[in-house]
Structures are given as C-alpha cells and as structure tokens.
C-alpha cells in the first residue's frame, strides 16, 4: 500500500504534465518539410493548406523544401526528427507507397517511421504537350510513337514517381514505347515541355493547371475515371480508347513515429477545419485537387493499401533504382 501511495501520485503528475504539454502545443513555429523543389504541385498544396491552418489557429508554419532521391531525402529528415510535433512532412503516393518498391535501399520505412495525421487531397494526372506541338489528340501522340518507336520522348519529375508509372501504364495500354526523360523536379521539366524540348509530360493537375490556363500547354487527356470540372473538354484516357491507365496521386500530412497521440489528434482536427474552408476548397479544386480529409487511421489504411497496389505496378514496369 505504501508503494502504491507513493507511485500513484507520481503517475498522475506525469499524466497531468503530458496533458498540459499537449494543450499548450504549439509553443514555437512548426516546420513542414516539402520533399520536392519549390513551385511544384506538392509545394503549392503545402503552402495553401498551412496558410489556411495558420489563419484558423494563429500558429506559425515554416515551409522547408528538401528535394532529392524522389522525395526520400525530405521524408527521411522528418522520420529522423524529434517526435514532438514541431517537424512535419507533406508526403504523397510516390515517397510513401512507390519508393519502397523502387529503391534498393530505403532510408526509412513509411509505415513504421512515420505517423499519419491526415489526408489532404487527391489529384489525377494530365497528359500534356506544348501549345505549339503538332499533337492535337492522344491519338496523334500514339500514331507518332508507332511511326517512330522510342523516338518520341516524355518527361516526368523523376524515376518511379506516379507520373513515370502512369506513363508506363499508358504505354502498355496503347502498345507504344516512348523515351523517358526523368527530371529532378517539375520546374525544369515544365520549362522544357513548354519550349518543346520534350514532347509529352504526365504530371498532376496542381502542377499543370496554371500553364494550361495560360495557354502554354495543351492537355490531351486526364488519367481520372471521369472528366475534370475545370477541364471539361479534355477526355479521359479511357474515353480516348486506352482503358486500364487510370492513375492519381494523393497528398497528406505526417509526423515522426512516436509523436504524442494528443498532438496528432490536435493536428488532424486543425487540418480538418482548414479543409472545410470554402476558400481553400475552391482554390484546391481549381488546381484539380479533390479534397479528402478523414482520420489518421483512414490515412494509414490508404498508405497500406496503395503500397500493395503500386508494388504490382512497379514490378510490371521493371523500374529499379540502386
């Protein structure tokens, strides 16, 4: 009894301190890593979402771009950070569910070294070409590839990205072969596609929508199951005659494994509030992103299920990075 009388108050005091710490969170700026260069779709989404969260909470978010290795560098930096809720990452399909199959050596395990906070949104991809390109339709691009196998090139933001694998699925469905030109991000890829140096480009709608609306890029097809509201004139790949090539990518917020459950719940709650703001929803939808939201557990399930799904695609493509 004496032991319990001494131990119980200590346990209660510790629990009280943890609760008080979570309630006071945050007491300093929160760093949010974007594992890609500035200016891309993931970077835009990170800034728009954290700005909406900051407006609601008066918290301070600091965006840090840490590109490299298909997003692995930025995600790994967060996975190895203190689990205190002050270092987060915007992860996406490629670095959480594709890279584990693609890279011979991964510096982190997405399902063990990170804790999901919540999904943000989902975006299909668009197949585009330069506005000055002779390709007016998907059929034109397919015909060119059949006339000159391997001579027509296409860009992606890197080996093993969703865009790269989407292009592989499209080539299989169309029975053609293009030359893959991987970039280290979207900025230079966009420049080269607009300029005509590279003929085709698969990328997410947030990455491309601005250039499409400015008339610099011509959209040929979308990888969604249905046409996009902001690109109603652009057919789906299935409508163009190439079924089985549907692809999309999602974005979500994560923290290092071991982050206190109270802090994860608080972040999930504030993310959910931000995603309910009409202004943010309108902005994301205008860029081609469908808002998702949901619980941390739903996000964890998505990561697990998509890891299995993309594993099959990577194996079929033969893609591998040593």
Domain with 271 in it: what CATH number? 3.40.190.150
103 backbone dihedrals φ, ψ, rounded to 5°: -90, 135
Kindly state whether residues 288 and 298 are assigned to the same domain: yes
Using an 8 Å Cβ cutoff, are 222 and 124 in contact?
yes
234 within a domain of the structure (yes/no)? no
Specify which residues 156 forms β-bridges with: 182
pLDDT at 224: 87
Residues whose CB is less than 8 angstroms from the CB of residue 177 and which lie 6 or more positions away in sequence, other chains included: 145, 149, 150, 171
Examine the domain organization and report whether 119 and 258 are in the same domain. Answer: yes
Tell me, yes or no, whether 201 and 262 share the same domain: no
Contact criterion met (CB below 8 Å) for 237 and 246: yes
If asked whether residues 6 and 98 sit together in one domain, one would say yes
Angle between helices 186-195 and 205-213 (to 10 degrees): 40
pLDDT at 186: 81
- CA 113 → CA 71, 79, 210, 229, 299, distances in Å? 15, 6, 35, 37, 15
Dist. CA 190–CA 193, nearest whole Å: 5
The answer as to whether 227 is a domain residue is: no
pLDDT in tens, the chain (322 residues): 555 455 555 555 544 555 555 568 999 999 999 998 888 888 999 999 999 999 999 999 999 999 888 889 999 999 999 999 999 999 999 899 999 999 989 999 999 999 999 999 998 899 999 999 999 999 999 999 999 988 999 998 877 788 888 898 899 889 999 999 988 778 889 999 999 999 999 988 888 888 999 999 999 999 988 888 889 999 999 999 998 788 888 999 999 999 999 999 999 999 999 999 999 999 998 888 889 999 999 999 999 999 998 898 888 877 788 7
Residue among 48, 117, 122, 40 nearest 274 (CA): 48
pLDDT at residue number 316: 81
15 and 96 share one domain: yes
Q: Are strands 248-256 and 114-130 parallel, antiparallel or unpaired?
A: antiparallel
Same domain (yes/no): 91, 145: no
- 41 and 130 inside one domain: no
**Cβ neighbours of residue 17 under 8 Å, at least 6 residues apart?**
none
Tell me: do 118 and 133 sit in the same domain.
Answer: no
DSSP conformational letter for 246: -
In the prediction, which pLDDT does 5 show?
A: 54
Range(s) of the domain holding residue 258: 2-123+249-317
The per-residue pLDDT for 97 is 95
CATH number at residue 178: 3.40.190.10
Q: What is the pLDDT of residue 68?
A: 85
Report the domain count for the chain. Answer: 2
117 and 13 co-located in one domain: yes
Judge whether 239 lies within some domain.
no
Q: Are residues 168 and 21 in the same domain?
A: no
pLDDT at 251: 94
Nearest to 267 by CA among 62, 97, 45, 87: 87
Same domain, yes or no, for 116 and 129? no
Q: In the prediction, which pLDDT does 292 show?
A: 94
Tokens 């109270």, residue located: 262
Same domain for 66 and 119, yes or no, is: yes
Pick from 90, 109, 112: nearest CA to 101: 109
Q: 176 pairs with which residues across the strands? A: none
Is 322 contained in some domain? no
């Amino acid at each position: 009894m004496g032991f319990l009388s001494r131990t119980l108050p200590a346990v209660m005091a510790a629990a009280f301190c943890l609760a008080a710490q979570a309630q006071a969170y945050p007491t300093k700026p929160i760093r949010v890593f974007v594992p890609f260069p500035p200016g891309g779709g993931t970077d835009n989404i990170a800034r728009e979402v954290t700005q909406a969260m900051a407006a609601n909470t008066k918290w301070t978010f600091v965006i840090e771009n840490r590109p490299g290795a298909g997003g692995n560098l930025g995600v790994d930096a967060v996975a190895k950070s203190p689990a205190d809720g002050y270092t987060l990452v915007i992860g996406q399909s490629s670095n959480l569910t594709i890279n584990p199959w693609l890279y011979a050596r991964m510096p982190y395990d997405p399902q063990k070294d990170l804790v999901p906070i919540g999904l943000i949104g989902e975006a299909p991809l668009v197949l585009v070409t330069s506005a000055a390109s002779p390709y007016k339709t998907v059929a034109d691009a397919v015909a060119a590839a059949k006339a000159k196998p391997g001579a027509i090139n296409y860009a992606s933001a890197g080996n093993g990205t969703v865009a790269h694998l989407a292009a592989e699925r499209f080539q299989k469905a169309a029975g053609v072969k293009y030359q893959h030109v991987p970039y280290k991000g979207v900025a230079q890829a966009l420049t080269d596609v607009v300029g005509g140096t590279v003929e085709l480009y698969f990328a997410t709608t947030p990455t491309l929508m601005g250039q499409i609306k400015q008339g610099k890029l011509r959209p040929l097809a979308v990888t969604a199951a249905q046409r996009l509201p902001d690109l109603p004139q652009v057919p789906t790949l299935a409508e163009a005659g190439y079924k089985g090539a549907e692809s999309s990518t999602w974005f979500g917020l994560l923290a290092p494994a071991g982050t206190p459950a109270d802090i994860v719940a608080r972040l999930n709650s504030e993310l959910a509030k931000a995603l309910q703001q009409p202004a943010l929803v309108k902005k994301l939808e205008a860029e081609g992103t469908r808002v998702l939201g949901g619980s941390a557990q739903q996000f964890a399930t998505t990561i697990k299920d998509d890891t299995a799904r993309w594993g099959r695609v990577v194996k079929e493509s033969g893609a591998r990075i040593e």
